[in-house]
Amino acid sequence: MNDEKALLGSLILDFDYCEDSFELVGPSHFHDKKNQTIFRAVQDLNRLDCPIELLSVSDRLMEGGNLSKIGGYGYLMTLTEDCPNLANADLYAARLKKRAQQEEIVRAGIGLNEAILEGNVGSIRERADLIHALEDGGQDRFLKAGYTTEQILAEAIPYPEWIADNLCLKNQVNIIAGSPGTGKSYLALAIAVCAAAGKKIIGADTNKPPVKTIYIGLEGGSQFRRRAQEILRGYEVENADFLLLQENPGLWENSNRIKFFAEIKRKEYQLVVIDTFRKAFRLREDNKEGWIEADDYLTQMAKYATVLLTHHTTKSSGRNGSGAVSVDDISGGGELSAGVDYALILKQENDSVVVYNPKSNPTLTVPPRSMEIVSHGSQTWIELQPAEEKQLAQNQPLREKFLEYLSLRDDWVSVNCVRKHFKMRHENAARILDEMVRLSDLSKDGDGRYKS
């Protein structure tokens, strides 16, 4: 006797005993139309709070004109007479449910294949999620993944790992953004080369195990290869698992995204650098849905390989109204900046490029750093140091001149007097004078005047 008949016989013989089994299945779990009709009759009686036994089920089927369609009262009798064991009702229900889920997986798999052939990323995700849910048994798909207070407190949660300390988080979406000429590609190349060779960037990190790296460089042609050559020589890298790809993978096409992702997984790349995001994805600023889809795609990729993007900032830095560098400065209508896990923004300030870290876990945030691209013959490398340290070193000659000037004055001196004497902008003079106060070289009164 099959599971359908065995379960129906159990329900008719002793519904109260088998009620839990009844809750596990629905009409769709029954292949045989006769059995499906009988199960619906049992559902109706249960909903109406009527007793469920042989005669009541028979009467319900007759009321609906279905008794003869299922084979009459005689068929119902065979269900109860041949029922193997009431104690196995849960087993019968579980087997019916598993069979139905397996059939759903097959149907979803066929749909997944069709979606892949069509290059429909949205449908691929939907079908893949459905298969995953069905394979999990379809029970509590969302809630079962939750964590209780006790579980959270008891878990030994590791700190985030770095591909390059304070520059690129492992298995996350990272971005380096800045206006043209700030050195985005130089920094991205240095991170990629050092990651592939297990080297360190001066002022950034300790040596790490090498990772298999692919760099999608879409600007500059042969001159970009020259830049990569100088970086490789600068870090003395002769043999590393590093591939520079200058052919555009065309990630604005869904079919290309699928192929590219598959190749990254197949070849087991651990770091994927896309320079630049704009050229690889070709998204207009107002294409909000496109930015969200691209972010989802990169987030999925980051589960298998660390992702590092180079991108540009908006023309108006500080557009969030604070005037400070923030993720709002990253182009992409806010959608890309919202999705990245770790962001670096490069900004030209006076004679230096300063690297800001406006988006990260608070425990990972580092102070602004000054970045210098050092070239020596055919060798190039990156050096980083705290921006404040570099600024102090650069201002040392002026501080000495300011101190000499103020030492000759017995009275309190305003910023305006210093500015005129040294023929410089008011804000620059005020910045250096305040710096000297912090260093205890000068005193400052309540009127904003200075004295040595």
- Rounded Cα distance between 153 and 323, Å, is 39
**Which residue matches tokens 């999990």?**
136
**What band does 307 get if pLDDT is binned at 50, 70 and 90?**
very high
- Rounded Cα distance between 329 and 349, Å, is 16
Half-sphere exposure of 240 (CA within 13 A, CB side): 28
Please give the radius of gyration of the chain, using alpha carbons only, rounded to the nearest integer: 34
**What band does 189 get if pLDDT is binned at 50, 70 and 90?**
very high
Q: Note the pLDDT of residue 212.
A: 93
Positive or negative CA dihedral for 315, 316, 319, 323? positive
**What band does 330 get if pLDDT is binned at 50, 70 and 90?**
low
The arithmetic mean of pLDDT across residues 328-340, rounded, is 58
Q: Note the pLDDT of residue 331.
A: 54
The arithmetic mean of pLDDT across residues 100-117, rounded, is 60
Q: How many CB atoms lie within 10 A of CB 62?
A: 14
The arithmetic mean of pLDDT across residues 370-399, rounded, is 76
CATH number for 391-451 (one of 1.10.3720.10, 1.10.10.10, 1.10.1740.10, 1.20.120.1200): it is 1.10.10.10
> 170-179, 328-337, 343-352, 422-431: lowest mean pLDDT where?
328-337
Residue 216 pairs with which residues in a beta bridge? 245, 274
Distances (CA, A) of 314 to 180, 215, 298, 307, 339: 11, 24, 21, 22, 17
343 φ/ψ angles, rounded to the nearest 5 degrees: -125, 140
Q: Note the pLDDT of residue 243.
A: 93
Query: Residue 122: is its pLDDT beyond 80?
Result: no
- Rounded Cα distance between 80 and 73, Å, is 11
Q: Note the pLDDT of residue 22.
A: 82
Average pLDDT, the chain: 78
Query: Residue 333: is its pLDDT beyond 70?
Result: no
Taking alpha carbons only, the member of 276, 222, 248, 255 closest to residue 115 is 255
Express as a percent the part of the chain with pLDDT over 70.
Answer: 78
Query: Residue 26: is its pLDDT beyond 50?
Result: yes
Just give the CATH number of 1-157: 1.10.860.10
Q: Is the pLDDT higher at 325 or at 200? A: 200
**What band does 232 get if pLDDT is binned at 50, 70 and 90?**
very high
Q: Note the pLDDT of residue 256.
A: 85
The arithmetic mean of pLDDT across residues 377-392, rounded, is 74
Q: Note the pLDDT of residue 269.
A: 93
**Which residue matches tokens 């005037």?**
323
Q: Where are the domains of the chain?
A: 1-157, 162-366, 391-451
Q: What is the DSSP letter of 439?
A: T
> pLDDT digit string (tens) for 192-207?
999 998 887 765 555 6
Q: Note the pLDDT of residue 338.
A: 66
The arithmetic mean of pLDDT across residues 96-120, rounded, is 62
Q: Note the pLDDT of residue 272.
A: 94
Query: Residue 323: is its pLDDT beyond 50?
Result: no
**What band does 169 get if pLDDT is binned at 50, 70 and 90?**
confident
Query: Residue 159: is its pLDDT beyond 60?
Result: yes
Taking alpha carbons only, the member of 367, 435, 371 closest to residue 397 is 435
> pLDDT digit string (tens) for 47-100?
888 888 888 888 888 888 888 888 888 888 888 877 767 777 888 888 887 777
The arithmetic mean of pLDDT across residues 394-417, rounded, is 78
Taking alpha carbons only, the member of 114, 106, 108, 41 closest to residue 79 is 41
Q: Is the pLDDT higher at 279 or at 207? A: 279
Query: Residue 106: is its pLDDT beyond 80?
Result: no
As a dihedral over the C-alpha atoms of residue 160, residue 164, residue 166, residue 171, rounded to 10 degrees, the angle is -40
Query: Residue 240: is its pLDDT beyond 60?
Result: yes
Q: The pTM is what?
A: 0.57
- Rounded Cα distance between 386 and 192, Å, is 22
Task: Kindly tell me the burial class for residue 393, based on how many C-beta atoms sit within 10 Å of its own C-beta (0-12, 13-18, 19 or more).
Answer: exposed
> pLDDT digit string (tens) for 407-451?
887 788 787 887 777 787 877 777 777 777 777 777 888 878 888
Q: Is the pLDDT higher at 141 or at 200? A: 200
- Rounded Cα distance between 408 and 433, Å, is 16
* Topology of domain 162-366, CATH: Rossmann fold (3.40.50)
Q: Note the pLDDT of residue 312.
A: 79
Query: Residue 142: is its pLDDT beyond 80?
Result: no
